């Protein structure tokens, strides 16, 4: 089946009663833009070291970001994930998109009312500068919902007869979709927002109406937005809130079959025009559901492994390898398509999520008790913790390094959240400012905030400074990670290791990363006590790639790890 035939088939799954006229017009437009290529060979994301940032909070605007590209390249980054940059009233840090084909004027350094050519010049220049350094660029698109300031919503709310009314979901009966859970528990009290005699449906903030994908014009409009940015040279898109796209009465409105059909349409459409554009799923679900968003290699190329993140924190708190080994076992994490990839992370712009959709009540309680060190860090009534990585680990650089060792080596492609590479702290001033702006007590604003580059420059010059010590360690780890293909493409095999007395060491997480080109042994001491490990591969010689708190007793062939120490070893 050709890509074109595939798009027609998907269209008819979604809209069996709709004529093909609208699709034919759309396909005739994109056929003129299509480039030759093999979608299966464009798997650059498997070797990506991704750095996530807000352009304005990182360094003001795109000009400022260009100034820091050398910093990012030196750090070991080869892909930037730009958190929301599209036009927005900024009540939800930019995830409330007003116009999907415009970047916010302040990020471009342009006055309001700029024309598209000016946008393409400024943003295009940034893309060129990044690509010259071998740095790919992806950004967020909230495809499930928009801002209530979106021009189409502004028209839709004026009249039931508005041509844009059906772009959104309206009802006088708020029992519709009553099985859909409340995602912002403790912040919102309903998925329906009153407007006159009607209510409109939203899964997130009340000022973010959901799109109605039962209207084919919504699907085509979103497709055109993605194609516009693809044509400018953007390397991919993080599809925000992807499980909620399609709604059906009598269901929980999550992970429905036609949601997958929509994702397949987006993927086929992007591949048809220009193979190699990453489609990344943000699906806060159990791995068995997340895997479905990669389909048979025909949906998203990659997805976040949400359950692995809290289990890394639990493993360190417990001093046990079992939380991670269990989470990555086939019983919990199914096999993914050959073209697919997991993305691993410790922190992102959101909270340390403990949603019961992928952690047990026991896990949620344990992690919350061990890491929510201040009441104001609480999010979603115990289902999350809003704190920076350095704060969660109470500024213990050994634990920070160990956590990075896990994230960078265990599976998939890693995501570094801006500022974590130097131990950035919670920003309480920014949090307070955002409460006033949004009218919502959203504790996630604690983990955002600006970088003070002048202060950081001074901090990094002092080798005894906490931020300098963290920075030097993480920079070294990132650059080592980038040099070894086995970390991004290799298989993971867990090993049982033993002490000199031949007793099993459950506090050590040990694994092999194996690829055709190389084999790497990783040892992580998850406990606060030193440990001695008998050489798990006595027939092989090894050499050190990177470490912290490690030494080797050559006479007894014993590896020694200090509390929270780790080592990455190449195998000969």
Separation between Cα atoms, residue 455 and residue 258, nearest integer Å? 50
Query: Which of the four pLDDT bands, split at 50, 70 and 90, describes residue 93?
Result: confident
Please name the residues in contact with 429: beta carbons below 8 A apart, sequence gap of 6 or more.
Answer: 449
108 lies in the same domain as 248: yes
Is the four-CA dihedral 184, 186, 189, 195 of positive or negative sign?
negative
Is the residue at 157 inside a domain? no
Is the residue at 175 inside a domain? no
Task: Taking residues 522-550, report their average pLDDT.
Answer: 96
Find out whether 213 and 116 touch, Cβ atoms under 8 Å.
Answer: no
Instruction: List, in sequence order, the alpha helices (H) in 291-337.
Output: 308-318, 322-327
- 341-345 and 302-304 as β-strands: parallel, antiparallel, unpaired? parallel
What tokens does 357 get?
């959709």
**Measured CA angle at 126 (ends 445, 346), to 5 deg:** 35
Question: What is the reported pLDDT for 41?
Answer: 55
Separation between Cα atoms, residue 299 and residue 264, nearest integer Å? 5
- 278-281 and 302-304 as β-strands: parallel, antiparallel, unpaired? parallel
403 lies in the same domain as 295: no
Going by C-alpha positions, the residue among 455, 483, 452, 456 that lies closest to residue 470 is: 456
298 lies in the same domain as 313: no
243 lies in the same domain as 380: no
Find out whether 168 and 153 touch, Cβ atoms under 8 Å.
Answer: yes
What tokens does 258 get?
């036609």
Separation between Cα atoms, residue 145 and residue 167, nearest integer Å? 11
Please name the residues in contact with 55: beta carbons below 8 A apart, sequence gap of 6 or more.
Answer: 61, 62, 64, 65, 82, 83, 85, 107
What does residue 412 show for φ and ψ, rounded to 5 degrees?
70, -160
Separation between Cα atoms, residue 162 and residue 405, nearest integer Å? 55
Separation between Cα atoms, residue 80 and residue 415, nearest integer Å? 9
424 lies in the same domain as 471: yes
**Measured CA angle at 566 (ends 50, 398), to 5 deg:** 80
506 lies in the same domain as 554: yes
63 lies in the same domain as 89: yes
Separation between Cα atoms, residue 61 and residue 311, nearest integer Å? 35
In this predicted model, what pLDDT tens digit does every residue of 324-345 receive, in sequence order?
999 999 999 999 999 999 999 9
CATH number for position 396: 3.20.20.80
Number of structural domains (the chain) is 3
What tokens does 285 get?
């679900």
268 lies in the same domain as 379: no
Separation between Cα atoms, residue 230 and residue 374, nearest integer Å? 43
Q: Is residue 411 over pLDDT 70? A: yes
Q: Is residue 42 over pLDDT 80? A: yes
Going by C-alpha positions, the residue among 237, 297, 245 that lies closest to residue 268 is: 297
Q: Is residue 39 over pLDDT 60? A: no
Please state the pTM of the whole predicted model: 0.95
Question: What is the reported pLDDT for 219?
Answer: 98
Is the residue at 563 inside a domain? yes
Q: What is the percent of the chain with per-residue pLDDT over 90, rounded to a whole number?
A: 90
Going by C-alpha positions, the residue among 65, 70, 66, 126 that lies closest to residue 451 is: 65
246 lies in the same domain as 263: yes
Is the residue at 174 inside a domain? no
Is the residue at 168 inside a domain? no
Burial class (CB in 10 A: 0-12, 13-18, 19+), 42: middle
Separation between Cα atoms, residue 295 and residue 6, nearest integer Å? 14
**The most confident of 271-275, 284-288, 393-397, 498-502, by mean pLDDT:** 393-397
Strand ranges (DSSP E) for 439-490? none
**The most confident of 174-188, 374-388, 406-420, by mean pLDDT:** 406-420
Is the residue at 131 inside a domain? yes
What domain range is 541 assigned to?
490-571
Strand ranges (DSSP E) for 356-456? 378-379, 384-385, 413-417
Question: Average pLDDT over the chain, rounded to whole?
Answer: 95
514 lies in the same domain as 479: no
58 lies in the same domain as 73: yes
Question: What is the reported pLDDT for 358?
Answer: 85
Question: What is the reported pLDDT for 186?
Answer: 82
Q: What is the DSSP string of 91-128?
A: SSTT-S-SEEEEE-HHHHT--TT--HHHHHHHHHHHHH
524 lies in the same domain as 539: yes
Is the residue at 277 inside a domain? yes
Residues belonging to the active site? 240, 282
In this predicted model, what pLDDT tens digit does every residue of 144-189 receive, in sequence order?
999 999 999 999 999 999 999 999 999 999 999 999 999 988 889 9
**Where is the domain boundary, 459, 483, 507?**
483
Farthest CA pair distance, the chain: 84
Question: What is the reported pLDDT for 516?
Answer: 87
**Where is the domain boundary, 483, 499, 527?**
483
Residue with tokens 């598209």: 116
**Measured CA angle at 89 (ends 88, 90), to 5 deg:** 85
CATH number for position 534: 2.60.40.1180
What tokens does 293 get?
């968003």
In this predicted model, what pLDDT tens digit does every residue of 202-230 receive, in sequence order?
999 999 999 999 999 999 999 999 999 99
Find out whether 146 and 211 touch, Cβ atoms under 8 Å.
Answer: yes
Is the residue at 92 inside a domain? yes
Is the four-CA dihedral 88, 221, 280, 249 of positive or negative sign?
positive
**Where is the domain boundary, 282, 304, 326?**
304
Whole-Å CA distances, 267 to 3, 34, 213, 271: 10, 14, 16, 6
In this predicted model, what pLDDT tens digit does every residue of 432-487 receive, in sequence order?
998 888 887 889 999 999 999 999 999 999 999 999 999 999 999 999 999 999 99
Going by C-alpha positions, the residue among 9, 122, 47, 52 that lies closest to residue 487 is: 47
Task: Taking residues 542-548, report their average pLDDT.
Answer: 97
Rg (CA), the chain: 24
Separation between Cα atoms, residue 370 and residue 562, nearest integer Å? 22
The DSSP bridge partners found for residue 279 are 237
């Amino acid at each position: 089946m050709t890509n074109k035939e595939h798009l027609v088939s998907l269209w008819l799954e979604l809209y069996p009663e709709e004529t093909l006229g609208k699709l034919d017009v759309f396909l005739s437009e994109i056929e003129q833009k299509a480039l030759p290529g093999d979608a299966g060979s464009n798997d650059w994301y498997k070797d990506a070291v991704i750095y996530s940032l807000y352009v304005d909070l990182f360094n003001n605007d795109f000009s400022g970001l260009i100034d820091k590209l050398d910093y990012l390249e030196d750090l070991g980054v080869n892909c930037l994930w730009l958190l929301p940059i599209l036009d927005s009233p900024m009540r939800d840090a930019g995830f409330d998109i007003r116009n999907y084909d415009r970047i916010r004027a302040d990020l471009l350094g342009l006055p309001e009312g700029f024309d598209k050519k000016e946008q393409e010049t400024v943003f295009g220049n940034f893309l060129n500068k990044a690509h010259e350094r071998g740095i790919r660029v992806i950004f967020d698109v909230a495809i499930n919902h928009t801002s209530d300031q979106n021009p189409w919503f502004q028209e839709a709310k004026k009249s039931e007869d508005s041509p844009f009314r059906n772009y959104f979901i309206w009802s006088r009966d708020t029992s519709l979709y009553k099985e859909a859970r409340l995602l912002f528990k403790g912040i919102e009290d309903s998925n329906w927002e009153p407007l006159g005699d009607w209510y409109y449906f939203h899964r997130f903030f009340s000022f973010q109406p959901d799109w109605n994908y039962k209207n084919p014009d919504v699907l085509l409009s979103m497709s055109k937005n993605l194609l516009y940015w693809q044509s400018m040279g953007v390397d991919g898109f993080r599809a925000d809130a992807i499980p909620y796209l399609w709604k059906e009465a009598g269901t929980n409105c999550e992970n429905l079959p036609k949601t997958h059909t929509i994702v397949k349409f987006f993927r086929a459409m992007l591949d048809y025009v220009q193979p190699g554009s990453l489609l990344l799923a943000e699906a806060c679900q159990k791995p068995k559901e997340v895997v479905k968003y990669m389909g048979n290699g025909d949906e998203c190329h990659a997805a976040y492994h949400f359950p692995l993140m809290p289990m890394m924190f639990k493993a360190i708190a417990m001093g046990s390898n079992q939380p991670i080994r269990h989470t990555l076992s086939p019983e919990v994490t199914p096999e993914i398509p050959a073209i697919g990839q997991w993305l691993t992370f410790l922190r992102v712009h959101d909270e340390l999520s403990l949603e019961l959709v992928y952690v047990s009540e026991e896990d949620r309680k344990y992690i919350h008790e061990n890491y929510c060190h201040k009441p104001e860090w609480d999010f979603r009534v115990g289902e999350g913790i809003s704190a920076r990585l350095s704060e969660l680990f109470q500024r213990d650089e050994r634990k920070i390094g160990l956590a990075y060792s896990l994230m960078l080596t265990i599976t998939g492609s890693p995501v570094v959240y801006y500022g974590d590479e130097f131990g950035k702290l919670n920003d309480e001033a920014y949090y307070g400012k955002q409460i006033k702006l949004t009218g919502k007590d959203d504790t996630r604003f604690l983990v955002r905030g600006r970088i003070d580059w002048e202060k950081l420059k001074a901090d990094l010059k002092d080798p005894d400074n906490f931020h300098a010590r963290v920075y030097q360690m993480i920079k070294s780890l990132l650059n080592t990670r980038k040099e070894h293909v086995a970390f991004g493409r290799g298989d993971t095999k867990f090993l049982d290791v033993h002490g000199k007395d031949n007793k099993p060491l459950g506090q050590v997480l040990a694994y092999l990363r194996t690829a055709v080109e190389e084999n790497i042994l990783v040892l992580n001491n998850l406990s606060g006590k030193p440990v001695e490990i008998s050489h798990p591969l006595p027939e092989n010689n090894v050499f050190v790639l990177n470490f912290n708190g490690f030494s080797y007793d050559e006479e007894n062939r014993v590896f020694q790890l200090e509390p929270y120490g780790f080592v990455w070893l190449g195998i000969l």
